[in-house]
Amino acid sequence: MKVHLLRTIYLTSFVSYAVFLLAEIMRPGFVGHIFSVHIFLPTVIVSGAMHMIFCHECEGVQSRKINFLTKVLASLILIFLLTEIKEVVTGMFIPLLFVVALLPWLVDIWLNAEDAT
């Protein structure tokens, strides 16, 4: 029961954050005039961490879909953040873009390698 509740809270807050962030990127101030987009971020982090802790043994198609969705959206958010500081990393922008895009997958591989030992 609590795993399903945590998964629902996590997915709802993560998708809401991604959609509102995309709306804010497309039209600056569209969401920002009403509330901060980042209000969902603490909920995403806490519920995602708790979901990973309690659903560590979860396997199956649903768990893989959530894992894949999380990595894709995290990559997109990291790419957006990198493009916001493009002027700071001018010479290394393209290599950093690839590293940032692959970072969620690398972290997942690293965490799974620690679990195997």
Write the pLDDT tens digit of every residue in 61-82: 566 777 777 777 778 777 777 7
Q: Is the pTM of this model over 0.75?
A: no
CB atoms within 10 A of CB 104: 20
pLDDT in tens, 13-34: 888 888 888 888 788 888 888 8
State pLDDT tens for residues 32-71.
Answer: 888 888 888 888 878 877 777 677 666 665 667 777 777 7
pLDDT, residue 58, reads 65
